[in-house]
Amino acid sequence: MTIRSDRDHGQRYRPRMSCLKKLEATVVQMQDPSTGVKGTDQKLNITTIPHVITGQDIVAWITKNVNIDNDEAQAFGTMLVAFGYIYPLQDHKKLVLRPDGSLYRFQTPYFWPVQKWKAEDTDYAIYLAKRNIRKKGVLHAYEQEEYNKLHKWMNHKWDFIVMQAKEQYQFQSLSKADRVVFDCQERAYWIVHRPPPQTHSAMDYGLDRHIDRNAEEKKTYDYYRRIIIYTQQAVMRSRVKSSVSLGALAKYITTFKNHDPFLVPCLPSNPWHTDDNSYWELNAPDVEIPTKMSVERWSFSFYELLNDPRGRADFKIFLKKEFSGENLAFWEAAEELKWGTAASMSEKAEQIFKTFLAPGAPRWINIDGRTMGLTVKGLEHPHRYVLDAAQTHIFMLMKKDTFYRYLKSPVYKEIQKKAISPAPHNFSEAQLQQNMRNRRPSINPIITWQKEQEEKAKAAAAAGPVDIKKLMASKLDRK
């Protein structure tokens, strides 16, 4: 039984189906006997059934009346079929409009998809029971599964369902032709609303919504209060001249336009199109030689460099040469604190304090006194964002100073020279099919995580407090 109460806060409104109302208007026009699509009679063994239309007629009518070109008209027609306003008579499982002589018929308005009401499971159970009666237990595999599921779930209603199914099945008094028409209609309706597995359904709209988008919202006190707060906040926002913001946008676009996979095909080939994984392999975080595109991207901004794991590794090598790795180490430690588990937070905070912030610490970072004071005070009661001020300061320091030195350094120039530029793939149709067949799942994420942990352990061991004396001693020894 459906739960019925006004306080039921379940989500039940379907979004994004407002196109259905517009489609209905078009369908009504389409079937107009004088100006609509021309219908013929379908000849079956025993009877003739009127009002049958062909695919090419539909496409032609749509092209003329909606004033679009042929390809779009076909897509539009396919949408009509997929939503269930027209159903195909041949190959009824595939809801596509074929622009040839294949036959279609209009669906009766009772079975039109309506935004407000979903196709109910009770009705589906009755339909399956009817089909069971008619076909004497021979249903499709997915229908059998659904039947069993519904039987288990709606067990208490089962008497009612069987009784209704038997009653509805008894309509033998209708003429043969009408029975065929009705059965075709019902079958088409259920193919749209309960699609067979591994087919796409046009009624797939995601989750139900809590609020009905079509209903007018009641103007209560709460509503007005909400609107007032919203507008007050909107007025208080800081304003930027459009010339400034548009200039920033234009600059961003010119910088990044060659790196957008929608605008420029990515090298060697887009794995989603060609099922070839080389693009992902070449850009993996632990790859030896990065691609030219990534290296170029690192030079755009410090944020890009830090975000790309390969770029960060390169930057780390550079910093090691300069003996100023503590800034980046602190930044990474702060990130770990931000994103880490709540349990480990106090422990991490203490470690960070000992390593980076305490006076005389092994990797002491150079931040101004005010920030240092704030951070140390905050560390008494550590929370996730206690290092935020210090982290921002360090970030700006690295960006303004170290980043530009990095870009001019021999490390970066060497990487630029070594970077590879893969040639674009050019797969033939047969190769594409083969790629599709050879699709394999990628590395188990558990293995990737384990590798990361190993790397971290190695890095932690290596980056222990660098004993300057020992290092200088070893250098002096060699001399």
159 binds other proteins (CB under 8 A): yes
**95 Cβ neighbours under 8 A, 6+ residues apart:** 78, 81, 82, 84, 87, 88, 191, 192, 199, 202
Stretch that binds other proteins, among 86-94, 338-346, 365-373, 377-385 (CB under 8 A): 86-94
Stretch that binds other proteins, among 147-155, 305-313, 402-410, 456-464 (CB under 8 A): 147-155
147 binds other proteins (CB under 8 A): yes
Helices assigned H by DSSP within 379-444:
388-397, 403-408, 410-418, 429-437
**Terminal-to-terminal C-alpha distance of the chain:** 89
How many whole angstroms from its chain centre is CA 78? Answer: 24
Decide if 124 contacts 149 (C-beta within 8 A). Answer: no
217 binds other proteins (CB under 8 A): no
Task: Please tell me whether the peptide bond between 268 and the residue prior to it is cis, using omega within 30 degrees of 0.
Answer: yes
Smallest gap from residue 263 Cβ to other proteins (A): 15
Give the pair of three-digit tokens for residue 199.
Answer: 């087919």
- For residue 217, give Cα distances in angstroms to 14, 180, 223, 224, 233: 17, 45, 8, 11, 22
Q: Which residues pair with 87 in a beta bridge?
A: 105
Q: Which of 62, 192, 202, 352 binds other proteins (CB under 8 A)?
A: 202
Q: Which of 52, 60, 376, 389 binds other proteins (CB under 8 A)?
A: 52
DSSP track, 77-112? HHHHHHHTSEEESSSTT-----SSS-EEEEPPGGGS
232 binds other proteins (CB under 8 A): no
Nearer to other proteins, 149 or 405 (CB): 149
Of 227, 306, 287, 293, the residue nearest 266 (C-alpha): 293
Report 262-281 residues binding other proteins (CB under 8 A).
Answer: 273
- What kind and span of H or E run contains 42? strand 40-43
Q: Would you call 62 exposed, middle or buried from its count of C-beta atoms within 10 A (0-12, 13-18, 19+)?
A: buried
**216 Cβ neighbours under 8 A, 6+ residues apart:** none
Q: Which of 187, 194, 209, 338 binds other proteins (CB under 8 A)?
A: 187
197 binds other proteins (CB under 8 A): no
111 binds other proteins (CB under 8 A): yes
Q: Which of 107, 269, 294, 327 binds other proteins (CB under 8 A)?
A: 107
12 binds other proteins (CB under 8 A): no
Stretch that binds other proteins, among 118-126, 221-229, 309-317, 463-471 (CB under 8 A): 118-126
Decide if 336 contacts 444 (C-beta within 8 A). Answer: no
Type of residue found at 91:
D
- For residue 14, give Cα distances in angstroms to 5, 195, 206, 371: 19, 18, 9, 51
Smallest gap from residue 139 Cβ to other proteins (A): 8
Smallest gap from residue 291 Cβ to other proteins (A): 25
221 binds other proteins (CB under 8 A): no
Report 459-478 residues binding other proteins (CB under 8 A).
Answer: none
Smallest gap from residue 10 Cβ to other proteins (A): 17
203 binds other proteins (CB under 8 A): no
Smallest gap from residue 194 Cβ to other proteins (A): 16
Stretch that binds other proteins, among 45-53, 281-289, 336-344, 395-403 (CB under 8 A): 45-53
Nearer to other proteins, 101 or 261 (CB): 101
324 binds other proteins (CB under 8 A): no
Stretch that binds other proteins, among 144-152, 293-301, 399-407, 461-469 (CB under 8 A): 144-152
142 binds other proteins (CB under 8 A): no
Stretch that binds other proteins, among 12-20, 21-29, 233-241, 404-412 (CB under 8 A): 21-29
Nearer to other proteins, 23 or 333 (CB): 23
Nearer to other proteins, 180 or 313 (CB): 180
164 binds other proteins (CB under 8 A): yes
Q: Would you call 375 exposed, middle or buried from its count of C-beta atoms within 10 A (0-12, 13-18, 19+)?
A: buried
Nearer to other proteins, 114 or 459 (CB): 114
Coil, strand or helix: which one is 162? Answer: helix
User: CA angle, 135 as apex, 133 and 137 as ends, to 5°?
Assistant: 75
Q: Which of 18, 148, 346, 450 binds other proteins (CB under 8 A)?
A: 148
Decide if 165 contacts 155 (C-beta within 8 A). Answer: no
Report 436-455 residues binding other proteins (CB under 8 A).
Answer: 436
Q: How far apart are CA 414 and CA 430, in angstroms?
A: 40
SS in 3 state form for 350-374? Answer: HHHHHHHHCCCCCCCCCCCHHHHHH
Q: Which of 20, 60, 68, 79 binds other proteins (CB under 8 A)?
A: 79
Nearer to other proteins, 100 or 368 (CB): 100
428 binds other proteins (CB under 8 A): no
106 binds other proteins (CB under 8 A): yes
34 binds other proteins (CB under 8 A): yes
Nearer to other proteins, 277 or 301 (CB): 277
Coil, strand or helix: which one is 41? Answer: strand
